[in-house]
Chains A and B, each alone.
Chain A
Amino acid sequence: MAQPSTYTTDGAGPVIEAKGLGVKFAVNRRRKRSLREMFIHGSKRDPNAEGDDFWPLRDVSFEIAKGDCVGIVGKNGTGKSTLLKMIAGVLIPDEGDVQVHGKVAPLLELRAGFNDNLTGRENVYLVGSLHGMTEKQIDERFEDIIDFAEIKPKFVDTPVRHYSSGMKVRLGFALISQLEHPIMLVDEVLAVGDKAFKLKCYAAIDRMLANERTMVLVSHSEKDLRRFCNRGLYIRNGSLALDTDIDSALEAYNEDTKAEIAERKKRDAAKKKRADGDKNPDDGKSEGDEA
């Protein structure tokens, strides 16, 4: 594969550089607004137009060196996936910038690009080419891909719409893990498939990492994180709270989670006490229930 020339002078300098990264979402404003709404409310009389910007991530800076495997931990909705998307270059930051030296294999949405009306074979060629593989490369690896994805031969030339969702995801993983790009971004995809397939995925990732490749992994599975990562970024409330080894990052995260649970319990207890007074049993809304 063509190596990027001037920037990656092997090992010298980081592969991924993020400087003061921030992204802003406008709540209420512009979000999924229909024209009708715009005409009715007008653009001026939006009650909470200003000061309603929400920064899922702000002022995040880090550098990732070649060969690193970095795990990103944090609660749901703290911008982990957003961060990954900015590294992948599919989301443009509002502040700061991120430089990535080398091509990126995005294991983010494994079914991306599959067209339901095309066969498995056609989809492999299409998506592989979209990611920059040549036809020859795909020819050479086609058997491996199908084999890895455990697609039975009779399904190879069946339209993908007849595949089970598991089959599609497996095919996606099998294909994208064949990319030889130096940087891999992985978002929670290791949760796919049955046990046997998962083991194969682990082996594939181990193989890729052994190849001096850089990986950024977002996951809620401590086991996965500890297994692959040598470094951890802990993101809390939209900013980078810790940049250490993975164990310390997970520890800090667990600590905070524990503190939060204790806090919530206290609040619930207080609420219950109050609710007992006026008999109103609607406390079925415990939101964040991740591991």
Chain B
Amino acid sequence: MHAAVRHLVFRAKRTQPLEVAVASRALAVWEHRKVVGLLVRRDLKVKYQQSVLGYAWTMLEPLALTMVYFFVFGVILQADRGMPPEALDHGGFLLYLVAGILPWTSFGAMFGESPRAMITHGKLITTMKVPREIFPMATVGTKFVEYLLTLPVLLAFVVFLGGTFSWTGMLVWLPSAIVLQFVFGLGMTLFLSTVNVMFRDIERMVRIITRLLFYGSAILYPAHMVLQSDIPEWLKTLYQLNPLLGIFQMHRAVWFAGFPELTPTTIALWSSVVGSFLMLVIGYWTFRRLEMSVLKEL
């Protein structure tokens, strides 16, 4: 396209000011947005073409899990006692679970794939001159589309279980949840994809951490139960500092707006906002710091 512009852009990284470097790099990424689109389309094509039932299969897994969790946590452990009684009329514990598990499937998948975001494209990265950010961005983009594809299923549940629609949910919680989840996800992917090239065992650690975060982000029980329990105060604060807690509470607040027990606390809210953007900054900084070494290693 505009070789001269791109040429300038790649040169610009040497001229010192940081904002200029970041801005010109962002411009270079923007110029290559088509490539991101191509990679996303390719990944989706491969994923859904694998089997005839493509889409159905990808939905079946989280739904089967939801049933298991509903049985174990709802029926046996009675985690629904953490829900305000009135909320039970608006979809109840099952909707609460589905509204958490569906966004988590795409987030967990992104977390799991992020360490390989650069490695899998090794050959492409070492032959094609493009801003390297686009590879982690493509991974995140694919997961974003996959997330959007879960929405029809979620809506079916909302209708079927009698969930309620609210403007606060639609205009405040849903957009914030989506933006923060993918800002955090992009930062995380930028970070893990490069660090994993240098230290290959990150990948295994990620699997464990995903598990911990799944339980730590109150997907299967209302966070309220933890905050009401008699664990030490500092532990509760620590619990709320997990940015994902706030993000996934937002995902549920979309359908349970107005219940203070089911909306993020102030600490959770702020740590999800600050934490997500901080993750992006850390991720991008790490990415640029390690870029040269990563190119040598790939």
By a beta-carbon cutoff of 8 Å, the part of chain A in contact with chain B is 2-7, 23, 25-26, 30-36, 38, 85, 88-92, 94, 97, 99-104, 106, 108-109, 111-113, 115, 117-118, 122, 126, 129-132
Contacts and interface: CB of A to CB of B under 8 A. Distances in A.
B29 to A, nearest CB: 15
Given A5-B4, A7-B7, A103-B3, A113 B123 contact: yes
29 contacts: A5-B4, A7-B3, A7-B7, A26-B293, A30-B198, A32-B200, A34-B199, A35-B199, A35-B201, A35-B205, A90-B126, A90-B128, A92-B292, A92-B295, A94-B292, A99-B11, A100-B7, A101-B3, A102-B3, A106-B127, A109-B126, A109-B127, A112-B124, A112-B127, A112-B128, A115-B42, A126-B42, A129-B34, A130-B128
Ranked nearest first, the 5 interchain pairs of A and B with the lowest CB-CB distance are A89-B129, A4-B3, A112-B123, A112-B127, A4-B4
Interface stretch (B45-53, B58-66, B161-169, B254-262): B45-53
Contact of B14 (A6, A97, A122): A97
Given A90-B125, A90-B126, A129-B38, A101 B46 contact: no
A106 B128 contact: yes
Interface string B111-153: 0000000000001111111000000000000000000000000
A129 B33 CA distance: 12
Given A2-B3, A7-B7, A36-B201, A109 B123 contact: yes
Contacts of A33: 198-199
A111 B128 CA distance: 12
A6 B3 CA distance: 10
Contacts of B124: 112-113, 130
Contacts of B2: 2, 4
Contacts, number: 98
Q: Is the interface of B mostly helix, strand, loop or mixed?
A: helix
Contacts of A99: 7, 11
Contacts of B34: 129
A115 B128 contact: no
Given A94-B292, A111-B123, A126-B38, A6 B4 contact: yes
A186 to B, nearest CB: 12
A88 B127 contact: yes
Contacts of B89: none
Given A26-B293, A108-B127, A112-B128, 10 more contacts: A4-B3, A30-B293, A35-B201, A38-B199, A89-B129, A99-B7, A100-B7, A104-B129, A106-B127, A118-B42
Contacts of A85: 126
